[in-house]
Amino acid sequence: MLVDSPTEPSAETAPAPPRRRAVRAAGLVLSLAVLVLVALASIAVGAKELSLEQVWHGLFQDSGTYGDVVVGERLSRTVLGLLVGAALGLAGAVLQALTRNPLADPGLLGINAGASAAVVTAITFFGVTSLNGYVWFAFAGAAVVGVLVFLLGGSRGATPVRLALAGTAISAALYGYLQAVMITDEAALGTMRFWTVGSLASATSDIIWQVLPFLVAGTVLALALARPLNAMAMGDDTARALGAHLNRTRALSMAAATVLCGAATAACGPIVFVGLMVPHVVRSFTGPDLRWILPYATVLSPVLLLGADVVGRMVARPAELQVGIVTAILGGPVFIFLVRRRRTAQL
């Protein structure tokens, strides 16, 4: 039962030797550099081929030419990709640490289901048709379900298993509702089948500004939770003995994950695999210390998301593949390879 296997505390109680710490810090800087490269590629490459001068022109001397408009759209898409990628990876890492379950992702705690059910409700019963309209519905749905899962999971004494079960239960009920609506309402199906895949294509600066405050707040909160979550990895009793506030940490972790996933899902639909996979990849070279896992996940998740988005724009010109699809098709094999290659670091 992976759900509750306690971690061996040996690796993290002893402080890492200075050299290993330097290597990890250098790795983080390197990852940042890769992220910058991927972001530049995301601005330069797309379904419409532009020369580098045109890209430069669009970035710094915007005069409203066709090329400038294209670059402007790619820029907002890239920014949204950065924000959402970081949010998903971070939320995934926090949730996996919180529930001590390697399967934990935004989907497991019902956040995707909540957002999807809210969007389908908005389309079918409130006649909302614009993406800007969905954002708030999706976010509200994610938030309500997040709170509900936490309350049902036993707010004060929430255990990992209870949280996971509560999330699964609510997802089950909500997906039943979602499917019933999609079967009976063709218009909802027509929109939802594109929304549920997850795409960055409709990014606008409006959407970015709407979700930005939530993403920033969630990121700060999540990064601050590294130490208490580290303590909790050793099991509830040990953590309490070490002076960690179990309930407070759980509540804050849930809040951070809900805000991050909710805002990300609201902005570009449920993109599941990033939050699930990146923490596993990161853990395979940082070990179980969340003080390293969280920053690495924050940097490497957007690399995956933006990289997948760039690939999706290139392979199907002049159309494009949605980022949610490419992420899973590219990331899946890598994930399986990593799982096979080594004894995956346990939670």
Q: State the residues that interact with other proteins by CB under 8 A.
A: 1-8, 101-103, 108, 152-154, 159, 161-162, 164-166, 168-177, 179-180, 182-184, 186, 189-190, 193-194, 196-197, 272-273, 276-277, 280, 321-322, 324-329, 331-333, 335-336, 339-340, 343-344, 346
Q: Give whichever of 269 and 302 is closer to other proteins, judged by the CB atom.
A: 269
Q: Which is nearer to other proteins, 176 or 213 (CB)?
A: 176
Q: Shortest approach of other proteins to residue 273 CB, angstroms? A: 5
Kindly report the number of other CB atoms within 10 A of residue 321's CB atom.
18
Q: Least distance in Å: CB of 161 to other proteins?
A: 6
If the CB atoms of residues 303 and 321 are measured against other proteins, the closer one turns out to be 321
To other proteins, the closest distance from the beta carbon of 280 in angstroms equals 7
Which residue, 170, 162, 161, is CA-closest to 1?
Answer: 161
CB nearer to other proteins: give 70 or 158. 158
Q: How far is the CB of 254 from other proteins (least distance, A)?
A: 16
The whole-angstrom separation of Cα 121 and Cα 50 is: 40
- To the nearest whole angstrom, how small is the minimum distance from the Cβ of residue 69 to other proteins? 26
* Spatial CA neighbour of 188 closest among 204, 200, 199, 177: 177
| Euclidean distance between CA atoms 271 and 189, whole angstroms | 18
Residue (81 or 110) nearer to other proteins, CB: 110
Q: Give me the least distance between CB of 242 and other proteins, in Å please.
A: 20
Nearest to 306 by CA among 134, 74, 56: 74
Closer residue to other proteins in complex, CB, 212/339: 339
The length of the chain, given as a count of residues: 347
CB atoms within 10 A of CB 184: 10
Spatial distance between the Cα atoms of 117 and 158, rounded to a whole number of angstroms: 25
Rg of the chain taking only CA atoms, in angstroms? 20
Nearest to 288 by CA among 229, 205, 218: 229
Rounded-to-integer distance, Cα 243 and Cα 181, Å: 48
Rounded CA-CA distance 52/335 in Å is 34
Nearer to other proteins, 173 or 224 (CB): 173
Provide the minimum distance between the beta carbon of 2 and other proteins in the complex, in angstroms, as a whole number: 5
